């Protein structure tokens, strides 16, 4: 499954990453605040280059386990990325995620991008269920999941080692029938 690029929202374009996106990608991926609740630390230039190189090939889903990774573009600037993982073909499961440059947070861009990925997951990939996870301390992220119509299904306490300490995880999910009702 390869979407017809670029995907357009009211204000954004979602497209595969391009080699020239390095400066914009590194600008937010090297920001410690962006990485506060992500598994990795602020990226070095070499790590951003490696991420970009990997992302260049993540523009389609051909088998479960793969990630669709798209640049979130506003006025020709990459302001973040949005992902859709094909978790299970048999169970028709996916996972959505998003990362945004702090200069563009709080303006609804992450919501627009995530809604577009939910549409891809439910309407093109015909998934039955899409999840999203976050650290409970990342309130803007789980509030966004709720605005997307997702419901909190779990709060796993001290479920993983996160940056040297036990961390909690929220799991949110949306079913295809819930998505369809919301679209009607």
Tell me whether residue 5 is in a domain.
no
What CATH code is carried by the domain that includes residue 95? 3.40.630.30
Expressed as residue numbers, the domain containing 21 is 12-183
Can you give the pLDDT at residue 131?
98
Tell me whether residue 160 is in a domain.
yes
Can you give the pLDDT at residue 72?
98
Tell me whether residue 3 is in a domain.
no
Q: How many Å apart are CA 125 and CA 119, to the nearest integer? A: 9
Tell me whether residue 137 is in a domain.
yes
Tell me whether residue 127 is in a domain.
yes
Structural domains counted in the chain: 1
**Range 102-108, long-range pairs (CB < 8 A, 24+ positions):** 102/28, 102/31, 102/33, 102/34, 103/79, 104/74, 104/79, 104/80, 105/140, 106/140
Rounded mean pLDDT, 82-91: 98
Can you give the pLDDT at residue 174?
98
Tell me whether residue 4 is in a domain.
no
Tell me whether residue 1 is in a domain.
no
Q: How many Å apart are CA 170 and CA 61, to the nearest integer? A: 26
Residue with tokens 């070095």: 44
Quote the strand ranges of 10-56, DSSP E.
Answer: 13-16
Rounded mean pLDDT, 99-125: 97
Tell me whether residue 122 is in a domain.
yes
Taking only the tens place, the pLDDT of each residue in 63-76 is 999 999 999 999 99
**Mean pLDDT of all residues belonging to the chain:** 97
């Amino acid at each position: 499954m390869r979407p017809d690029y670029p995907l357009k929202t009211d204000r954004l374009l979602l497209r595969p990453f391009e080699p020239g996106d390095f400066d914009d990608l590194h600008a937010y991926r090297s920001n410690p605040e962006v990485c506060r609740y992500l598994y990795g630390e602020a990226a070095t230039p070499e790590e951003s280059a490696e991420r970009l190189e990997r992302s260049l090939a993540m523009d389609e889903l051909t088998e479960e386990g793969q990630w669709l990774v798209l640049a979130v573009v506003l006025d020709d600037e990459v302001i973040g990325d949005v992902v859709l993982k094909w978790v299970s073909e048999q169970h028709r499961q996916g996972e959505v995620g998003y990362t945004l440059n702090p200069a563009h947070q709080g303006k609804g861009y992450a919501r627009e991008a995530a809604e577009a990925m939910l549409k891809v997951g439910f309407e093109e990939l015909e998934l039955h269920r899409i999840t999203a996870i976050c650290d409970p301390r990342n309130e803007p992220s789980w509030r966004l999941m709720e605005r997307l119509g997702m419901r909190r299904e779990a709060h796993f306490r001290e479920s993983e080692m996160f940056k040297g300490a036990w961390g909690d995880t929220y799991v949110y999910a949306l079913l295809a029938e819930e998505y369809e009702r919301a679209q009607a």
